[in-house]
Amino acid sequence: MAFQTLHCEDAGAVRRIIINRPDKLNALNRQTLADLHQAFDQAAADDTVRVIVLSGAGGKAFVAGADISELAELSPIEARELSRFGQRLMRKIETLGKPVIAEVAGFCLGGGMELAMACHLRLASRKAKFGQPEVNLGVIPGFGGTQRLLRLTSRAAALELCLLGEQIDAERAYQLGIINAVFEPEQLAEEVQKRAEHMAALAPQALRGVIEAITVGAESALDVGLEFETQAFAVAFSTEDMREGTQAFLARRPAEFKGR
């Protein structure tokens, strides 16, 4: 379906969700958040979609932050509800069960960085810029920035980025473990598509199991995470894809996973 602030397109089993507000550097307003909620719900429910790529239109920004013109008018109660609405979106992406790749070109700031951190992989242009600049507006990150930064990198780095409110380049973000890889700008889309197509050819239930096990493990004691992994490992043995994968390996042929 058509969205006010997004453009979606499919290439095989890969769906691209493109935030389409280039005149606003793809800033997240309430309508964009609502559209993203719906777009990810649709991708989750569509069995033909195995991998999602999230990007921003225009080449200047992935998402440059929240829409400040909306933020400036919020009451404390409205700000709380917006934070919860944004956090539900980030959690939805994080627990979607299908791999989501953030293709980061240009500015990735504030709500944009929070959106990227909710994705499972973050691949960036060498020209990308990252930051949590909310303190410069007299507020703090509201869509999970303090918590996901702490989990992706270190307490020291999370405090540095959130307290100083300064931008860092892609190489520093890579060194801190915030992003997975850095590419030349002209190579980024091709490299993202290559990884998306690779994952789209794998067994969907196995990918879901990995996402769920790592998500649970990141938020649990080790013994809890290990038991979840054991159960997910056992469930994988009930799938047709597991039989196909092992038989294909033994026969030295490519596996053809059906998602069953």
Of the residues 9, 73, 94, 114, only one is catalytic, namely 114
What tokens appear for 197 in the block? 């197509």
For 204-251, the fitting CATH number among 1.25.40, 1.10.12, 2.60.120, 1.20.1050 is: 1.10.12
Taking 70 as the pLDDT cut, the residues of the chain under it are 1
Active site residue 9: no
pLDDT at 119: 98
77, 125, 190, 219 from 108: Cα distances, Å: 27, 11, 20, 25
Any idea where the domains of the chain sit in the sequence?
6-200, 204-251
Instruction: Tell me whether the CATH fold assigned to 6-200 matches the one assigned to 204-251.
Output: no
pLDDT at 1: 64
| Three-class DSSP category at 204 | helix
pLDDT at 171: 96
* pLDDT tens string 236-249: 999 999 998 888 88
Active site residue 114: yes
Burial (CB < 10 A; 0-12, 13-18, 19+), residue 26, is: buried
For domain 6-200, the CATH superfamily is 2-enoyl-CoA Hydratase; Chain A, domain 1 (3.90.226.10)
Of the residues 78, 81, 134, 244, only one is catalytic, namely 134
pLDDT at 224: 94
CB 33 within 8 A of CB 86: yes
76, 91, 144, 163 from 82: Cα distances, Å: 10, 14, 12, 22
